[in-house]
Structure 1
């Protein structure tokens, strides 16, 4: 099986790649070739199969065609400009998140009959916008209130239509906010959700730019990799024409996040969180969904953590070697 990962140098892409390298197979079929792409060069995994590495702007003319020329059996499309950056840079957000996605889809289409890969597209809960019911069910319409959410919603529609036309076998997964993200903060407006856990556990101060009452939908990096692997192998007949799914997760307030951290790590760690309101972040977050009834995805076998403490413990195990900074 030949697998192409766009966004392979990102956090989720790296973890997906590590899992594929560990397993050596996907859905019971051996991985025989990997093509890895990002705007910066991905690192080659420790595998004994051919690996192609490339770094470029995948939305540039000809790049998408080059990437699919090897006719990968499975395409993981993780490449995107994150929410805060897409809001701040209108042109860049649409060029990468919309134009790049359309060019990728059309590159698959240009190969023609006899080629129909499974294409897994990472969408986002940002496709929903206020006012919203709580929880949001599977039948609720997408009506984003950010440029990022709009770009992802259009990508979902394209994926459904290209799948209907037989161009590829697409599955779109609306990721919760992935928490706790390891590494340095990125430009995502949601980054503080991870920051208020990650930095205190590492002995550093974290800034909280929103109210403790903000409620949001989360899943761990572990869960995200599980979503991707399941989406790549699920029987398309079970999905029918509805190819975009809201992933399961955990709905908690910022206050509940902090209390979960307190129970695990104590008051001294929580004291490293500093409140510093940011009106721009508060405005963006106010339009985000807070909780979901992801019944359809759950019934189809997608799974996430049962509570936020489990999410924190997964971060401590996977990124901190089980240790918390004093």
Structure 2
């Protein structure tokens, strides 16, 4: 039995692989499995005999037909063209984010095995004029190509679940902050950059107003929630498989205040305002807070506060850091909210 992770070479994908293996070693896997197959354009960085890397185009029906077989018990579909890239290259985004998603679901359908499918969606499916706190039943109204294509993916996953072809779980992830490394093509990449770069002694632009409210999750909490999504029984989620994954609601100004508390005035001084209308058009259309009590009751988690979120970056990605996610109090069940 195997689990497939598209985007398994990426930041979140590789960490999902690691936590799945940790759970397996602890005798508590979210579903029974023996192998993890990473489908990506690069090798999965997790060195483990139980991980097999398949390097190729995850939108290729031929590749998916070969790898998505009747012994697949779970699929994580993380691979996607991100928000900035989707605005720049509509055709590529359509091929990967829509055609690739449908090809993956069709491959799963053909097995007859009804695997659990965890599809990572985004806050970008929302737009228009949402309420201050978005309820679970609020309808999608995307204001970007990325959001529109993720909304299409959500409908596909839900329909394939309704028909009994897969057991889908749609995870609308908060903006992940603070990521290590360099900026990526996501419009929200600055939410990591305005913390990461100053803590590393580098200048960072802030492209949005300080009052911009964001829905954030640390990498630890996001990975714990993705693993929980595979584990929770489908009937507990309900007929509509869309889930607003828990996060914390923080303004950009509050992030900068926390940066100063943790990194000092010198770090805060390295952030300068650099308004970017293209980024604002995307990010400022996203809601800044969601109703997630039911998700917490289902065992999903969230971070304690913005200071802990930033300290996690220091703990996990500074030299010598890297305890397993499950050892952190910030990946605790709802009764022990992080």
Normalising to structure 2: TM-score of the pair?
A: 0.90
Q: For 2:166 and 2:30, locate their aligned partners in 1 and report how far apart those are by CA, in whole Å.
A: 21
Q: For 2:182 and 2:154, locate their aligned partners in 1 and report how far apart those are by CA, in whole Å.
A: 29
Structure 1 residue ranges without an equivalent (≥5): none
Q: For 1:86 and 1:215, locate their aligned partners in 2 and report how far apart those are by CA, in whole Å.
A: 23
What is the CA-CA distance between 1:71 and the residue it aligns to?
Answer: 2.9
Does the 8 A contact of 1:138 with 1:295 survive in 2? Answer: no
Q: For 1:285 and 1:33, locate their aligned partners in 2 and report how far apart those are by CA, in whole Å.
A: 37
Q: For 2:319 and 2:71, locate their aligned partners in 1 and report how far apart those are by CA, in whole Å.
A: 39
User: Are residues 1:144 and 2:145 paired?
Assistant: no
Does the 8 A contact of 1:21 with 1:46 survive in 2? Answer: no
Residue by residue over 1:165-194, the C-alpha shift from the partner in whole angstroms, topping out at 9 and shown as x without a partner, is: 110111111000000011111010000010
Give SS of 2:72's match.
Answer: coil
Residue by residue over 1:112-141, the C-alpha shift from the partner in whole angstroms, topping out at 9 and shown as x without a partner, is: 3xx111111111111110211011011211
Q: For 2:282 and 2:237, locate their aligned partners in 1 and report how far apart those are by CA, in whole Å.
A: 32
Structure 2 residue ranges without an equivalent (≥5): 322-338
What is the CA-CA distance between 1:297 and the residue it aligns to?
Answer: 1.3
Q: Which residue of 1 aligns with 2:75?
A: 75
What is the CA-CA distance between 1:266 and the residue it aligns to?
Answer: 0.9
Q: For 2:33 and 2:48, locate their aligned partners in 1 and report how far apart those are by CA, in whole Å.
A: 10
Does the 8 A contact of 2:124 with 2:144 survive in 1? Answer: yes
Q: For 1:163 and 1:302, locate their aligned partners in 2 and report how far apart those are by CA, in whole Å.
A: 21
What is the CA-CA distance between 1:32 and the residue it aligns to?
Answer: 1.3
Partner of residue 116 from structure 1, selected from 114, 118, 127 = 114
Partner of residue 174 from structure 2, selected from 176, 196, 202 = 176
Q: Which residue of 1 aligns with 2:24?
A: 24
What is the CA-CA distance between 1:46 and the residue it aligns to?
Answer: 3.7
What is the CA-CA distance between 1:93 and the residue it aligns to?
Answer: 0.8
What is the CA-CA distance between 1:83 and the residue it aligns to?
Answer: 0.6
Normalising to structure 1: TM-score of the pair?
A: 0.93
Superposition CA RMSD, Å = 1.6
Matched positions, count = 319
Q: Which residue of 2 aligns with 1:292?
A: 290
Does the 8 A contact of 2:31 with 2:230 survive in 1? Answer: no
Does the 8 A contact of 2:4 with 2:75 survive in 1? Answer: yes
Q: For 2:160 and 2:253, locate their aligned partners in 1 and report how far apart those are by CA, in whole Å.
A: 42
What is the CA-CA distance between 1:20 and the residue it aligns to?
Answer: 2.3
